[in-house]
Chain A
């Protein structure tokens, strides 16, 4: 749970009020992931229950309550930072599923489908890149987040390219004689 540990991280810099935490979180993540206040407080309560943070005694529930991190909280933060995220189980990627369904359905132009998705992803990347255009105003956290998004989307495009290549080869080996859809010969043999 990244919000939980992000809040712990913010608290590790010093005691903070709940509403400040939300502001800080949004700033640090470059306003990319908005949080609502309720989500912040729910998370804080769970953290308090687990003994990872503590609040000022006697203070009422609400925005005025200040939270600080406990020793257990610091340990938990430390452990979390150094634990690699679980990448072993493949996420159930919607795009992959769509393509898998498409190749099993007759009458669907899979390459066209791939291109539709590719164009969509690239358009998205163009938008993200626009955000980077004015480099002077870019703060570090925001730039890291944008890069992360671009690399993620880039990997999608690459997967689409790879999928297309694989489909092409598969269709060639099935049809065999169909030259027009076969891979283009390299433009020219490279001769020394």
Chain B
């Protein structure tokens, strides 16, 4: 669903030049959840914005759903975001003044879906996440956890298949953070490809695969874990 090939991103020029990403390659298949883990300043957020077409790489290719971003115009990228990519940010996800359902329906409406149909799809997405009772509430009437969950509903509404989340539970307590990650995982189990960038190992451990990023380079990655039963056999004697 998402392929990054040798992506490099430079900011600034001359002595002040900063290499935010340095030859990053990453592939995320449909239905899988990949966590990108690294300390702040490691380039993980840049990776996400480049993967989501919000920024252009200095070099390298990004392919989303089979379409290379390099050949797209600004408007085509906006259209790609409307149709295929859902973002979840750390703490600011919902537009004030729009209800939860309207927020979820917005990308569909921006893409030309009629309001009635868009609302129907939005309600379905919210129901899928157990948020149907919150549909007509405004962002300031929702708790932080509810807001993040609505954001996830928006990220997967319609036939969007790439969910990009930047510290999606960073501003939440652990229970709400866990709930958010469960939703992301559930979306993946239904076929969405998801990338979560975080510095938090507990969040990252929800992923099928964790890649480690340091100074703009992917330095390591976990292998898919063996079945959890192995843990119990290996448990130490008390």
Q: Judge A-B direct contact (beta carbons within 8 Å).
A: yes
Contact A188 B212 (CB under 8 A): no
Cα A33 to Cα B236 with chains together (Å): 7
- For residue B11, CB closer than 8 A to chain A, the reply is yes
Asked if B66 is at the interface of the complex by the 8 Å CB criterion, the answer is no
Q: Number of A-B pairs whose CB atoms are under 8 Å? A: 97
Q: Are B226 and A154 in contact, with the CB atoms below 8 A?
A: no
* A126–B182 CA distance with the chains assembled, in angstroms: 13
Given contacts A121-B201, A185-B18, A187-B18, contact A127 B235 (CB under 8 A): no
Q: How far is the CB of B226 from chain A (nearest CB, A)?
A: 7
B212 x A184 contact (CB < 8 A): no
Residue contact A115 to B228, C-beta cutoff 8 Å = no
- Tell me, yes or no, whether A10 is within 8 Å of chain B by CB: no
Say yes or no: A33 contacts B222, CB within 8 Å: no
Docked-complex contact A119 and B201, CB < 8 angstroms: no
Q: B103 interface residue, CB < 8 Å from A?
A: no
Find out whether the CB atom of A129 lies under 8 angstroms from the CB atom of B12.
no
Interface pick from B140-148, B153-161, B202-210: B202-210
Residues from 1 to 58 in A contacting B, C-beta threshold 8 Å: 2-3, 31-35
Is B237 interfacial (CB 8 A cutoff)? yes
Chain B nearest Cβ from A177, distance in angstroms: 14
Give the distance in Å from the alpha carbon of A185 to the alpha carbon of B210 in the complex: 25
Is the Cβ of A115 less than 8 Å from the Cβ of B220?
yes
- Which residues of A have CB within 8 Å of B200? 154
Within 8 A of B (CB), among A119-139: 119, 121-133, 135
The yes or no answer to A157 lying at the interface (CB within 8 A) is yes
Q: Which of A34, A115, A124 contacts B212 (CB 8 A)?
A: A115
B-facing residues in A141-192 (Cβ within 8 Å)? 150-151, 153-154, 157-158, 161, 164-165, 183-188
- The reply to whether B238 and A125 form a contact with Cβ atoms under 8 Å apart is no
Q: Which residues of A contact B237 (CB under 8 A)?
A: 33-34
Residue from B11, B185, B227, B230 within 8 A of A188 (CB atoms): B11
Known contacts A115-B219, A130-B225, A131-B228: A34-B18 contact under CB 8 Å: no
A52 to B216, CA, bound (A): 60
Tell me which of B12, B207, B212 contacts A118 (CB under 8 A).
B212
B228 touches A150 (CB 8 A): no
On whether A123 and B222 interact (CB within 8 A), knowing A129-B205, A187-B20, the answer reads yes
Question: Which residue of B is nearest A130, CB measured?
Answer: B228
Chain B: which residue is nearest A29 at the CB level?
B238
Contacts of A165 in B (CB 8 A): 39
Using Cβ atoms and an 8 Å threshold, which residues of chain A touch B42?
184
Tell me which residues across on chain B come within 8 A of A186, comparing CB atoms. 41
Q: Are B46 and A126 in contact (CB under 8 A)?
A: no
Contact between chains at A184 and B235 (CB < 8 Å): no
Shortest Cβ distance from A182 into B: residue: B215
What are 20 pairs between A and B in contact, CB < 8 Å?
Answer: A3-B238, A32-B232, A32-B235, A34-B237, A35-B238, A115-B219, A121-B201, A122-B37, A122-B201, A125-B205, A127-B225, A127-B226, A127-B230, A129-B205, A130-B228, A133-B185, A165-B39, A184-B18, A188-B11, A188-B12
Known pairs A125-B204, A158-B201; list 15 more (Cβ under 8 Å).
Answer: A32-B232, A32-B235, A33-B235, A33-B237, A115-B214, A118-B220, A123-B210, A124-B231, A125-B202, A126-B205, A131-B231, A135-B182, A184-B18, A187-B46, A188-B18
* Chain A residues within CB distance 8 Å of chain B: 2-3, 31-35, 115-116, 118-119, 121-133, 135, 150-151, 153-154, 157-158, 161, 164-165, 183-188
